């Protein structure tokens, strides 16, 4: 199953793959060069298809847990001062996504969207300390039943040139449902109340909507 955000790119890729294959078959003799070209075409198509894959995920739908919004690796767990919305100290968990990860962004908890904003910006590497403040990004806050307001922030990286955000203020959302999509490598930060029990460790790999990030 592929994500709707990739429909145009996948269609173009399939067209170019077909043209390349037909051209190689017509003008190049069957030999090492022909099979090298075919191999490269297959590899490029496979990379595009895997990037836009959208596997089915079943969230726990448990108000007592916060799930990972994306697939990737936990790179930051620390207390920080969040100055855009909360303007106080929060517990930040950051997840880095490589181009090989699923890039669908999902709601970490169920509730009502109280804030949703897009920020244009730079394209520093996603793990840069200033990326969460200076890169292109979207900020979404959901008021959950047990954790109060929980923020997740999509952050563009050096390769990510487009962030898609589906969150609309006032909307009721379910845990694990789609919040957005980031094209190519990037990062998502989660901001939780100080004192929340974190259920993951640094460098741990997580899956969107499935891995539990925090508990009460």
| Catalytically annotated residues | 186
Give the chain as a DSSP string.
-B-GGGHHHHHHHHHHHHHHHHHHHHHS-TTHHHHHHHHHHHHHHHHHHHHTB---------TTEEE-SSSEEEEEEEEEEETTTT-EEEEEEEEEE-TTS--EEE-SS-EEEEEEEEE--B---TTSTTHHHHBSEEEEEEEETTTEEEEEEEEE-SS--EEEE---TT-EE-TTSEEEEEESSEEEEEEE-TT-EE---TT-EE-TTTSEEEE-
**Tally of CB atoms within 10 A around 208:** 28
Owner of token pair 């957005």: 180
CA dihedral 14, 20, 21, 26 (to 10 degrees): 150
């Amino acid at each position: 199953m592929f994500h709707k955000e990739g429909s145009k790119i996948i269609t173009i890729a399939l067209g170019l793959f077909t043209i390349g294959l037909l051209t190689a078959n017509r003008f190049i003799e069957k030999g090492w060069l022909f099979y090298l070209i075919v191999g490269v075409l297959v590899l490029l198509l496979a990379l595009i298809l895997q990037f836009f894959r959208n596997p089915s995920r079943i969230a726990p739908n448990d108000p007592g847990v916060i799930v990972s919004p994306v697939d990737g690796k936990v790179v930051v767990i620390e207390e920080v001062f969040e100055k855009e919305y909360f303007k106080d100290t929060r517990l930040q968990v950051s997840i880095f996504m490589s181009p090989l990860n699923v890039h669908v962004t999902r709601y970490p908890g169920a509730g009502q969207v109280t804030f949703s904003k897009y920020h244009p910006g730079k394209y520093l590497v996603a793990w840069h300390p200033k990326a969460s403040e200076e890169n292109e990004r979207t900020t979404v806050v959901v008021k959950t039943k047990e954790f109060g307001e929980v923020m997740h922030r999509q952050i563009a990286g050096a390769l990510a040139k487009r962030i898609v955000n589906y969150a609309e203020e006032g909307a009721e959302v379910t845990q694990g449902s789609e919040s957005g999509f980031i094209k190519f490598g990037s990062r998502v930060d989660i901001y939780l109340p100080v004192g929340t029990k974190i259920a993951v460790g640094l460098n741990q790999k997580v899956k969107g909507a499935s891995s539990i990030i925090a508990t009460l």
